[in-house]
Amino acid sequence: MNTNKSWFENAGLGMFVHFGVYSVIGRGEWVMNTEKIPLEEYDRHILGFTAENYDPGEWARLAKNAGMTYMVLGTKHHDGFCLFDTSTTSRNAVKQEPKRDLVKEYAIACRQHGLKVGLYFSLPDWSITAFNDGPEKASVEAWNAYISLIHEQVHELCAKYGKIDVLWYDMAGNLNGASPLNAETLRAHELNAMVRKLQPDILINDRSFIPGDFDTAEQNIKAPKDGERLWEACLTMNKHWGYFPADDMYKSPKEIVHLLTGILSSGGNMLLNVGPRPDGSIGAEDRKNLMALGDWAKANSEAVYGARTGRLNGGTFGCSSQNHDKDYLYIHWWHGTSTVVPDCKLNFSSARILGDTCAPTIRHSGTRLVLENLPKISPNPYCSVIELTQI
């Protein structure tokens, strides 16, 4: 395993991007499977995947302004269409629309804006008959050819695009609802040994049937049982990963910040998704949330980057984290001029509200820490943060 993990421990926030042929259809990244679209029919939509407004530099600027420190782009989803230049299939963005190496441009943009480069890669591939048949039904030759293709595509991603910081594998069943992949059938140890030889500093997630370097909680903020384990929570802004204009159930900025602070309080990172339109542009609702998140993260940076699992009871106010010699209270519910930290066995000498001039007072009452002289209304509309300094 990689021992160069400090950047991920301190990352706080990342941007996930789901962008592909499914964006043209506009009903989510699983539409080929959920609507049982035949491959020939599905591939007619490749012509609409023009990405004429694809500007990864703008994506990177949005991510940076939103407080993100890394990005993860879907280089190939379960539909098997590659956004990179590959010798393994003609179903790729260089040989067909948009006739550009989208991954190359993305990797360059990330580095130009000081963001760590993450690549998502689907191990399943619905476009390949052998995967849908599984090793029991497919011939040995056909199955081996599929696995060799997967290994070669990962090799290309790790060999052609400079330093890659994160390899984000994904898993799924085949079009028949079965899950034919496992560590043995994938030859996962061999695959990841090749990756680490090409990219010695890379971090690999937990979705290649072996533990990897970090856990990925999907659509939840549940931390791993092992408190020392690196982890992130990947979350959507609405209910879908890929572009889905009919889905208007967007989280509010306040909800996103509350989710983030819950993740930080358990020592994780938030990987927040955007699903660009088929032309590559990012919608207004996504932009609004990213801007609000960035404003909050900038005002409360000490409690975002490098946050570790909290040691103070969240009581009725929210949750907490620690960073070096400071403890941070994420006040989800502002009680007015005072708030209480229950079961507090630590002694604190001072408190301050990040981004505000108010000077709270501290009173220890048994095992209760009482913070007083607070503003009647929360200084931050999404979540105010109180920094505590020990005696």
What is the three-class DSSP state of 84?
coil
HSE, CB side, 13 Å, CA atoms: give it for residue 94: 14
Q: Which two tokens stand for residue 195?
A: 């990756």
| Range list for CATH 3.20.20.80 in the chain | 6-303
Within 10 angstroms of residue 226's Cβ, the number of other Cβ atoms is 10
Look at residues 224, 226, 222, 252 and name the one whose alpha carbon lies nearest to residue 237: 252
Strands 368-372 and 339-341: antiparallel
Residue corresponding to tokens 């476009």: 127
Using 70 as the pLDDT threshold, list the residues of the chain that sit under it: 1-3
What does the pLDDT look like over 333-356, one tens digit per residue? 999 999 999 999 999 999 999 999
How distant, in Å, are the alpha carbons of 25, 46, 206, 262, 294 from that of 15?
Answer: 23, 25, 18, 17, 12
Phi then psi for residue 113, to 5 deg, are: -105, 15
**Cα 12 from Cα 306, distance rounded (Å):** 7
How distant, in Å, are the alpha carbons of 62, 149, 158, 161, 202 from that of 199?
Answer: 27, 19, 7, 11, 5
Q: Which two tokens stand for residue 331?
A: 């006040």
Look at residues 58, 62, 55, 77 and name the one whose alpha carbon lies nearest to residue 13: 62
Q: 310-390: which CATH number, 2.60.40.1180, 3.40.1180.10, 3.40.250.10, 3.40.50.10800?
A: 2.60.40.1180
Q: What is the pLDDT of residue 3?
A: 57
- Peptide linkage before 98 cis (omega within 30 of 0): yes
Give Rg (Cα) of the chain: 23
Ordered alpha helix ranges (H), the chain: 6-9, 22-25, 31-34, 39-42, 56-65, 102-112, 129-137, 140-160, 183-186, 188-198, 253-264, 284-299
Q: Which two tokens stand for residue 140?
A: 């040995």
The residues facing 330 across adjacent strands are 319, 385
Phi then psi for residue 125, to 5 deg, are: -150, 105
What dihedral angle (degrees, nearest 10) is formed by the CA atoms of 287, 290, 291, 295? 180
**Cα 128 from Cα 306, distance rounded (Å):** 42
Residues recorded for the chain:
391
Q: What is the pLDDT of residue 359?
A: 87
Q: Which two tokens stand for residue 284?
A: 């207004």
- At residue 98's C-alpha, the angle toward residues 96 and 99, to 5°, is 60
Contact of 333 with 318, CB cutoff 8 Å: yes
Q: Which two tokens stand for residue 336?
A: 């007015």
Contact of 382 with 369, CB cutoff 8 Å: no
**CATH of span 6-303:** 3.20.20.80
Look at residues 111, 106, 124 and name the one whose alpha carbon lies nearest to residue 16: 106
| Range list for CATH 2.60.40.1180 in the chain | 310-390
**Cα 104 from Cα 201, distance rounded (Å):** 19
